Structure 1
Amino acid sequence: MTVTEAPIGRAARTRVRILETALTLFAEHGYDQVTVSRIAAAVGISEMTFFRHFPSKESLVVDDPYDPLMAEHVAGQPSSLPLLARVAGGIREAWVAVPQPEAGVVRTRLRIAAASPTLRAATRQANEASADAIASALVDAGADPVDSRIAAGAAMAGITETLLAWAVSDDGSLGEALERALRVIEGAR
């Protein structure tokens, strides 16, 4: 599996090697059975070098560059739209704004997360942080705080369920799965 094909510098190449090696080890042996020490040894680096690139083992699977952009794009939605439409529209815009990830890597990450109780909990925490940021964006635009929290939480739960189902199905593209979730969130499906 290849995380990226673009020409990159030495530090970025090391980061990619760490991620690819870790995902392979997690897929073969299970997330909870693979240590940072084992990943570092397989890559040929020290544990300190690992932690220069990733703050934790969980971050290899749970961190997503897409998450920080969601709240920014939700904040840019017209306040005249219903809350769920604003959330879905912002998430859709954020998706278009980032380079599209390689679907095989995302599918592998989701399968690893689904198979590990540790990562399921970390995924819930990451979703909670994303929902908090989205809700704050809505509140900052004048929406009711409770309604904002409900809309953000519902959207993140719906997206997570859709992506987990996509990960085990081998059907369709990642973008199609996300769009399906957004259509349901908007009430169009």
Structure 2
Amino acid sequence: MQLFGERGYDATTMNDVAEAAGVSPMTVYRHFPTKEDLVLVDQHGELIAERIAASSPGRPLVRRIGGALVEAAAALTGDGLSADRRFLLVRLQLMISTPALRAKHLDNQYALQQAIIDALDGDAADPDAAFQAQAAASACLAALHTALVRWAVDDGRSDLPRLVEKALAAVFGDDVVGRAR
């Protein structure tokens, strides 16, 4: 991320990354088949899915998903100076500014949507329930994306969990995450 942040996405090669990491280019390619994978490897789907799975199945879908997204945002950005927070910020800024990364981001969104649906433990045999889970996950992820873009444009100065709450409230109403702020 540091190389991409300093040199830009297009100017940084896989060989540059391998050299900076002190490994061979083949080692980098073994773990990251494309340069897009280096930037947008999904690291947070499991965190979100775990939080959804731990939520009460009796709560409405958007509250379960929304609450997990807010909690994950808080966990990822809790310490203002953390390496995870900086990594996330640089990654988002690259995604916003680099057209080649947007398609990979969309793939990641689909994978995250499926992780959310799986975590909801929906009844796949019930097409209506599956459709509702898919629609709720998709709408919540659209709100999350809006909050992430705002946070990245603000250079991480705003409170990401609060932005996620505001975006969810704009779509679903003020009490979607189960608390008024």
Q: What TM-score do you get using the length of structure 1 for normalisation?
A: 0.72
* More moved, 29-38 vs 159-168: 29-38
Question: Secondary structure of 1:119's partner?
Answer: helix
User: Pairwise CA RMSD of aligned residues?
Assistant: 2.8
Deviation per residue, 1:139-163 (Å, 9 max, x gap): 5368701111000011111111211
Letter in 1 for 2:58: S
Alignment match, 1:14:
none
Aligned partner of 2:18 among 40, 57, 61: 40
Instruction: Give the 3 Å change call, closer, same or farther, for CA 98–174 of structure 1 in structure 2.
Output: closer
Letter in 1 for 2:92: L
Alignment match, 2:9:
31
Alignment match, 1:122:
104
Aligned partner of 1:140 among 106, 122, 137: 122
Q: CA deviation at 1:41?
A: 2.6
Alignment match, 2:45:
67
Could you tell me which runs of 5 or more consecutive residues in structure 1 were left unpaired when the two chains were aligned. Answer: 1-22
Distance 1:65 1:77 in 2: 20
Corresponding position: 1:180 with 2:166: yes
Query: Is the 2:69–2:164 contact (alpha carbons within 8 Å) kept by the matching residues of 1?
Result: no
Q: CA deviation at 1:177?
A: 3.1
Question: Secondary structure of 1:144's partner?
Answer: helix
Q: Which has the higher contact order (CA 8 A, sep 6+)?
A: 2
Distance 1:80 1:44 in 2: 50
Q: What TM-score do you get using the length of structure 2 for normalisation?
A: 0.75
Question: Secondary structure of 2:58's partner?
Answer: coil
Distance 2:165 2:63 in 1: 13
Distance 1:55 1:93 in 2: 31
Corresponding position: 1:104 with 2:91: no
Distance 2:120 2:86 in 1: 33
Query: Is the 2:122–2:129 contact (alpha carbons within 8 Å) kept by the matching residues of 1?
Result: no
Corresponding position: 1:152 with 2:137: yes
Distance 2:142 2:23 in 1: 37
Could you tell me which runs of 5 or more consecutive residues in structure 2 were left unpaired when the two chains were aligned. Answer: 176-181
Instruction: Give the 3 Å change call, closer, same or farther, for CA 26–93 of structure 1 in structure 2.
Output: closer
Distance 1:96 1:168 in 2: 18
Distance 1:93 1:115 in 2: 27
Deviation per residue, 1:114-172 (Å, 9 max, x gap): 11112111111101111112123335368701111000011111111211111011331
* More moved, 37-46 vs 136-145: 136-145
Query: Is the 1:74–1:134 contact (alpha carbons within 8 Å) kept by the matching residues of 2?
Result: yes
Q: Write the mapping of 1:5-24 to structure 2, written as runs, cut at 5 A.
A: 23-24=1-2
